[in-house]
Structure 1
Amino acid sequence: MKYNPQIHHRRSIRLKDYDYSQPGVYFVTICTNDRQCWFGEIHDSQMCLNQLGKIVAQGWLRTPEIRPEVILDEWTIMPNHLHGIIIITHQPTPPNNHVGAHRRAPSQCAPNQCVPNQPQFRRKSKSLASIIAGFKSSTTKRINQVRATPRVPLWERNYYESIVRNTEHLEHVRNYIWANPYRWKDDPEYSSSTLINSFDLPF
């Protein structure tokens, strides 16, 4: 999908006084600290997850198990960031209700407007911010255990979010996420990435 500033622009002003715990569809992008490429590499337009990337994928898929009000739609893990669509519902949903994960999950090899959401001192329960914070915390803890690097930040402090307005917008975002590995060198996160030599990893 060709870069579209109406979908992919990330510097606009987020909605003031919007309740991000209310039911809705949200497009989020979560980047690694200093844009370091920790999660694998792109080969032949496919994302090949390394051990750290697989831990992140497992953590993402566990989100609806921990928070029954959450449904996962389209998502993908890139070398230094994750794109995903999160649906917050009124009622708990059945287990394994991962709309997009089973359709277009990242290969294992063998938005209208998105802006940083700065962390707040108090996060509203079941809000988008609390969902992202829980995911970041669990994956950081697990990866730091694997790497024997306690208290080292894995993710940058903020994240990017966009409210998906309608079905047409949802399809645009889904296609953008699905096509991300194909357009990696055109991705805004590619130019600012820090490549990690695989030999620097302890596995």
Structure 2
Amino acid sequence: MPLKTRKPNRLPDYDYSQNGAYFITICTKDSKSTLSQIAEDTSVGATCGRPKIILTKIGEIIEDEIKRLNTVYCGVKVDNYVVMPNHIHLIISINIENGRPQVAPTISRAIQQFKGKVTKTAKQPVWQKGFHDHVIRDEEDYLTRWQYIDENPRKWLIGKDEYYSL
């Protein structure tokens, strides 16, 4: 049986360092649920139907590194994210003002360094190879991806989580 040809994850000829917003999905190695647990939030004052995310130690490392991404690259900002049991979703915006620096940050470079830092801190392999991205085209697309991130934990609880299929 012939080997499958791996489909490239990035758009050909697209400049991933240009200003814009990107929806990113990164999955765990072997799809293992090592990042968090999703549970119903039964605490007093909890928002009805909104589950809580209980981060594992690795999940805490990931959350710290997500927050750190906002300071590592000038003009790169994580707008929204969720740490699911076996994957994460992020909306990352690049907004470089006054022209681009000589070495402009790219989504691939930022994600590669993020994944490497998490793996090094966790002292174990965490991620599958690569990541999935979607170039956000307009405000409607941005809001759709934002809502997807916000609803993902609830969908997980009811068994309708679809990773990154919109």
Q: TM-score range by the shorter chain?
A: 0.7 to 0.9
Q: Structure 1: which 4+ aligned runs deviate by more than 2 Å?
A: 11-15
2:81 pairs with 1:75: yes
The 3 A distance-change label for structure 1 pair 41 and 162 is same
Matched residue type, 2:118: T
Shift of 1:16: 1.8
Structure 1 counterpart of 2:160, from 180, 186, 192: 186
RMSD: 2.0
CA distance in 2 between partners of 1:13 and 1:55 (Å): 25
Matched residue type, 1:23: N
Matched residue type, 1:33: K
CA distance in 2 between partners of 1:77 and 1:13 (Å): 21
Counterpart in the other structure of 2:72: 66
> Percent identity of the aligned residues?
33
Asked if structure 1 preserves the Cα contact closer than 8 Å seen for 2:9 and 2:131, the reply is no
**Correspondence 1:97-116 to 2 at 5 A:** none
Asked if structure 1 preserves the Cα contact closer than 8 Å seen for 2:9 and 2:132, the reply is no
2:144 pairs with 1:166: no
Structure 2 portions without partners, runs of 5+: 1-6, 41-50
CA distance in 2 between partners of 1:32 and 1:75 (Å): 16
CA distance in 2 between partners of 1:14 and 1:56 (Å): 23
3-state DSSP class of the match of 1:21? coil
CA distance in 2 between partners of 1:23 and 1:40 (Å): 31
2:123 pairs with 1:127: no
3-state DSSP class of the match of 2:18? coil
Output the TM-score relative to the length of structure 2: 0.79
Matched residue type, 1:157: K
Output the TM-score relative to the length of structure 1: 0.65
Counterpart in the other structure of 1:143: 122
Shift of 1:15: 2.7
